[in-house]
Amino acid sequence: MLKKSVLFFISLLSIAFMVKAQQQSPQLTFDRANQQLQEGNIQQALALYQSLEQQNKYSGALFLNMGLSYLRIDSTAKAKFYLLKAEQFDETESKAEQALDYVETRFSHQSAVLPELPWQKALNWLGSEVGSPTILGIGLLLFNLGIVTFIGTWFYNMSSTVWPRSAITTACLGALIILLSFYTNYRQQRYSKAVMITQQTNVLDQPKAEATVVNQAFEGYTFTVDHNKSSNEDRWSYIRMSNGLYGWIPTEEIMIL
């Protein structure tokens, strides 16, 4: 009996050790990759960083270091891709922006960029900074507050119409915000930013090589990918260029954020 208890205790310790080792493994891998980067072994560092990416061990520091690694081997478009991902994290946003300013000067072609419309800026800000779940929560709060207040007027003799009107206004505002949250989530699911990673390609009016050329795209160009339209084609992505033109591009030519 004692022997079985000891074996059981040892087994528990072994399992705990293995779980702890697995928890530490991503950090150890990241530290090893950073060491390789400092020593100038860029390919070895990238291999370790990529292993973390494949395990979905995402962080701003990981993407920032991957971007800087690709920059050091002159893979400028991939550097831009990972720096854009690093920019999405608060802890690396500032450093990523500085690095992106430098990366943009390394491209031989610069794309014409149309300014975003005010409503597009607002929706992009809501999606990235606030998030559809938060917007939905605010909408539900206002909607329920309006409904509860309106019902409350039934049980109190209020000669004034201010409270019922205010309650209806609050509920309607909440409903509009709820709809806004669904639309924001829809936009996030349908559209993504992408970076072109090859030297040059044609943007076509149809998803086939012999189609009419709409425009040319070059390394480092950023696009907006329409996933809904692209889902019908295996090897093509329907994109909107920064100059406002739409067309098809081979998916292998881009990396989607």
- Cβ burial 41-67 (10 Å sphere, 16+ → b, else e): ebeebbebbeebbeeeeeebebbbbbb
Cα–Cα distance measured from residue 255 to residue 78, given in angstroms and rounded to the nearest whole number: 8
Report the SS3 class of residue 165: helix
| Residue among 240, 222, 216, 218 nearest 230 (CA) | 240
Tokens of residue 5, six digits = 């208890």
Q: What is the pLDDT of residue 9?
A: 46
Is 192-256 a domain of CATH 2.130.10.10?
Answer: no
> Degrees (nearest 5) of the Cα angle 197, 252, 49?
60
Residue 150 to residues 141, 153, 172, 241, Cα–Cα distance (Å): 14, 5, 12, 48
Which homologous superfamily does the CATH classification assign to the domain defined by 2-104? Tetratricopeptide repeat domain (1.25.40.10)
Place of tokens 């920019």: 87
What is the identity of the amino acid at 164? P
- Determine the 3-state secondary structure of 203 from DSSP: strand
- Which pair of tokens denotes residue 54? 């494949």
Of 204, 209, 188, whose CA–CA distance to 238 is shortest?
A: 204
- Structure tokens given for 211: 């189609």
- For the chain, the farthest-separated pair of C-alpha atoms sits apart, in whole angstroms, at 82
Closest CA to 83 of 97, 255, 195: 97
**For residue 96, how far is the Cα from the chain centroid?**
15
Residues in the chain: 257
Q: At what angle do helices 60-72 and 76-86 cross, to 10 degrees?
A: 160
| pTM metric for this prediction | 0.79
pLDDT in tens, the chain (257 residues): 545 454 444 554 444 444 444 445 888 999 999 999 999 999 999 999 999 999 888 899 999 999 999 999 999 999 999 999 999 999 999 999 999 999 999 888 877 777 777 888 888 888 888 888 999 999 999 999 999 888 887 777 655 677 788 888 999 999 999 999 999 999 989 999 999 999 999 999 999 989 999 999 999 999 999 999 999 888 999 999 988 899 999 999 999 98
Q: What is the pLDDT of residues 195-250, one digit of tens each?
A: 999 999 999 999 998 999 999 999 999 999 999 999 988 899 999 998 889 999 99
- What ranges do the domains of the chain cover? 2-104, 118-190, 192-256
